Amino acid sequence: MTHQALWSGGFKEPLSEIALTFSSSIDLDKQLFREDIAGSIAHVEMLAATHILAATEARKIRTALKQIQKEIETGKFQLTGEFEDVHLAIEQRLIQKIGPLGGKLHTARSRNDQVALDERLYLRSAIRDLSKLIVHLQRVLLFKAEKYFGELMPGYTHLQRAQPVMLSHHLLAYVWMLERDHERLQDCLKRLNKSPLGAAALAGTSFPIDRLRVAKKLHFDSIVENSIDAVSDRDYLVEFVAACSTIIMHLSRLAEELVLWSSKEFGFVRISDAYTTGSSIMPQKKNPDMAELVRGKSGRVYGALVNLLTIMKALPLAYNRDMQEDKQPMFEAVRTTQQCLSICSQMLVHTAFDRHRLEDELRNDFLTATEIADYLVRKGVPFREAHAITGKIVSYCIDHRMYLGNLDLDILHTFSKAFGPEIFDYILPQRSVEQKKSAGSTSPHDVKRQIIHWTRVLKGRRG
């Protein structure tokens, strides 16, 4: 070991190189250096305020910590594998700079409450960044919904064509999903934004510290009230990654639809060349690789969630070294979710819908069969009977290689005398959506109401 561990006073032998390499977390937790230094500055200022340290001592430590941050940012001080973790690396550098005084920084705290603080600060920032990315994607979807307002598309259940819907309505469904994702992050923040610092290793400290002062300095809402709970749980991290998993699930569904819709079989969209790739052997190919990667990267975030749950499963209170392994899934979930939200926004901006293809597909199918059944119900036919009659009409059309628009009144009368000439208005796709009356439906009136709602909401939201 190049540096003697700060905890090694009672040890007769230094940690072996292989054990240091195995147990070192600095390759990951060095990303938390800003959070670690911010927490240390707040801590040392509190130690001065409570007269545990002299004001002059606190000023020297604070100044040196700020210098160390600049050294790390400029590369002058490298956080390398010779250090056990980011906390000890910064503290050792502090002692190098100002001597034994630097060792006073760790008064009334432990790495246990220190790392819990760093993670909460990091996740608070991650929630802010992810929330902005969600809002941006919502705005892109809203823009597309406004641009294509009035355009219809086949709606699907079981990946089988079902009924005509407004394209805007389909796109706005994702806006609502993302809104719940946004709400989950904000709700997670309520439980996350509490300071664990001052819990020390698990039992608190005999020094007269002011935990609330530190919490206020770091913009926490309050403190974690139980010192054992403060250092021994990572439920805030599990909850955060669970929220990321739901976000990535929604993005994966959107990505899958873009993959399907960009295929020749669907032909609903054209994704810009800037967000597709070619084949190394087939010159004609244009692959929706960005959408496929979003779909594939969902496994990383799901894996992070299972990883965290497995780490925490059956751990006795309080802190256990197993919990060091929480950094990898935390960083993975944040990085992957950020990347996928960003690429989805950019890809959608550069995606165009083929209006003519959508119109053709609406005409050449049986998407308004439900309207025939509803028409018969209005004529007094029980719904189950109307359903059966309509099913027979569809079978007739399939057998005779025709669609609903090819039917005439004489043919319809062979199935039911309840049909009148006005039935042909009901089987038009545009009339189908216009007939919808229920709140939240695909009717132009309701879709317009949703667009107005989201225009107002997103206009006043940061992101």
Provide the CATH number for the domain around residue 133. 1.20.200.10
On whether residue 149 sits in a domain, the answer given is yes
Q: What percentage of residues in the chain have a pLDDT greater than 70? A: 97
Task: Please tell me whether residues 145 and 231 are part of one structural domain.
Answer: yes
Structure tokens that stand for 280 in this block: 């190394």
Residue 278 pLDDT > 60, yes or no?
A: yes
Mean per-residue pLDDT, 218-241:
97
DSSP-derived letter for residue 220 is -
Provide the CATH number for the domain around residue 26. 1.10.275.10
Task: Please tell me whether residues 349 and 365 are part of one structural domain.
Answer: no
Mean per-residue pLDDT, 424-430:
88
Residue 353 pLDDT class (50, 70, 90 cuts) = very high
Final residue of a structural domain among 107, 132, 166: 107
On whether residue 213 sits in a domain, the answer given is no
On whether residue 203 sits in a domain, the answer given is no
Residue-wise pLDDT tens digits, 189-204:
999 999 999 999 999 9
Mean per-residue pLDDT, 350-375:
91
Tell me what pLDDT residue 310 has: 97
Helix (H, G, I), strand (E, B), or coil: what is residue 352?
Answer: strand
CA neighbor of 34 nearest in space, from 162, 147, 122, 139:
122
pTM assigned to the model: 0.92
Residue 366 pLDDT > 70, yes or no?
A: yes
Final residue of a structural domain among 332, 353, 374: 353
The single-letter code of the amino acid at 308 is L
Q: With beta carbons less than 8 A apart as the criterion, state whether 412 and 424 touch.
A: no
Contacts of 424 (CB under 8 A, 6+ apart): none
Helix (H, G, I), strand (E, B), or coil: what is residue 76?
Answer: coil
Residue 395 pLDDT > 50, yes or no?
A: yes
Residue-wise pLDDT tens digits, 28-47:
899 999 999 999 999 999 99
Q: With beta carbons less than 8 A apart as the criterion, state whether 393 and 415 touch.
A: yes
Q: Structurally, how many domains does the chain consist of?
A: 3
On whether residue 211 sits in a domain, the answer given is no
- φ/ψ region of 317 (left if φ > 0, alpha if ψ in -120 to 50, else beta) reads beta
Distance CA 284, CA 274 (A): 16
Tell me what pLDDT residue 22 has: 79
Tell me what pLDDT residue 7 has: 52
Could you please report the per-residue DSSP string of 262-314?
A: TSTTT--EEE-GGG-B--SS-TT--B-HHHHHHHHHHHHHHHHHHHHHHHHTT
Provide the CATH number for the domain around residue 426. 1.10.40.30
Catalytic residue among 158, 206, 280, 356: 158
Final residue of a structural domain among 300, 323, 353: 353
Domain that holds residue 286: 114-198+226-353
On whether residue 212 sits in a domain, the answer given is no
Task: Please tell me whether residues 269 and 138 are part of one structural domain.
Answer: yes
Mean per-residue pLDDT, 159-171:
95
Task: Please tell me whether residues 368 and 447 are part of one structural domain.
Answer: yes
Catalytic residue among 279, 395, 413, 445: 279
Residue 287 pLDDT > 60, yes or no?
A: yes
Task: Please tell me whether residues 92 and 147 are part of one structural domain.
Answer: no
Task: Please tell me whether residues 156 and 247 are part of one structural domain.
Answer: yes
Residue 3 pLDDT > 60, yes or no?
A: no
Task: Please tell me whether residues 174 and 290 are part of one structural domain.
Answer: yes
Mean per-residue pLDDT, 9-37:
84
On whether residue 206 sits in a domain, the answer given is no
On whether residue 140 sits in a domain, the answer given is yes
Task: Please tell me whether residues 100 and 143 are part of one structural domain.
Answer: no
Mean per-residue pLDDT, 330-341:
98
On whether residue 399 sits in a domain, the answer given is yes
Task: Please tell me whether residues 305 and 438 are part of one structural domain.
Answer: no
Task: Please tell me whether residues 430 and 392 are part of one structural domain.
Answer: yes
In our burial notation (b when 16+ CB lie closer than 10 A, e otherwise), range 164-173 reads bbbbbbbbbb
Residue 1 pLDDT > 80, yes or no?
A: no
Task: Please tell me whether residues 103 and 118 are part of one structural domain.
Answer: no
Contacts of 63 (CB under 8 A, 6+ apart): none
Would you mind telling me the total number of residues written for the chain in this entry?
463
Contacts of 117 (CB under 8 A, 6+ apart): 35, 39, 195, 196, 197, 218
Task: Please tell me whether residues 161 and 245 are part of one structural domain.
Answer: yes
Contacts of 396 (CB under 8 A, 6+ apart): 411, 415
Residue 406 pLDDT class (50, 70, 90 cuts) = confident
Catalytic: 279?
A: yes
Alpha helices in 367-462 (DSSP H): 369-378, 383-399, 409-413, 423-426, 429-434, 444-459
**Residue corresponding to tokens 């359903």:** 387
Q: With beta carbons less than 8 A apart as the criterion, state whether 175 and 138 touch.
A: yes
In our burial notation (b when 16+ CB lie closer than 10 A, e otherwise), range 341-350 reads bebbbbbbee
Tell me what pLDDT residue 2 has: 47
